[in-house]
Amino acid sequence: MGSGDMVAMWEVRMSDGVHKIGFEHGTTTGKRILWVDGEEKIRRDWMFKLVGSETFNIGNAKCTIKIEPIGGFAYEYSLEVNGKNYKKFVENQNKILQTWVFPLESQMMRVVLEKDTLDVWVNGQCLDTAGEFVDDGTETHFDLLGHPSYIKAVSSGNRREGIIHTLIIDNNEIPEATE
């Protein structure tokens, strides 16, 4: 990513992957450059108004970077995703996304369950799944490179803990990732 004017960076965890956002702000040149995953998305040169906002999309998420003065020639940069400030968005994503990262057939796999929609994503692609009720909960079945796979959902028996989701591939439990 660009020059020495990088003023802010964020990591946005979504179903299709973790997106890296970088923002350059040249306060002497009026330049603004927005990077998403290493690719330049917005470039503005010679902007006389140094404060304001830049709006862009990552997938179907609407993002806004706000540039606000904090005295003198100092600025504060904040990110909103889908109308939520970055911190609230991250907290929400941590509640609704469960992620597993592991090697399979000599490639890294990233499996994400969206708990609110029950969509299953593998390496950025939403999969076709088949849900099934079983004695102690539900199973969401799908194929992973020819390996029979499913996510099992069972009640924890504790209201605060809620439902426990477990990824099973070839009858082996995969540990949850911490991204």
pLDDT digits (tens, 9 = 90+) for 35-66: 999 999 999 998 888 899 999 999 889 999 99
pLDDT of residue 30: 85
Q: How far apart are CA 37 and CA 14, in angstroms?
A: 13
Contact 152, 166 (CB under 8 A): yes
Query: Using the 8-state DSSP alphabet, how is residue 86 labeled?
Result: H
For the chain, which residues score pLDDT lower than 70? Answer: 1-4, 179
Q: How many residues does the chain have?
A: 179
Point out the domain boundary residue: 35, 54, 82: 82
Same domain, 77 and 100: no
pLDDT of residue 3: 60
Tell me whether residue 101 is in a domain: yes
Per the structure, the complete domain to which residue 125 belongs is given by: 96-174
pLDDT of residue 74: 87
Q: How far apart are CA 159 and CA 124, in angstroms?
A: 31
pLDDT of residue 29: 85
Same domain, 163 and 100: yes
Same domain, 74 and 44: yes
pLDDT of residue 5: 84
Same domain, 58 and 101: no
Same domain, 51 and 101: no
Same domain, 62 and 11: yes
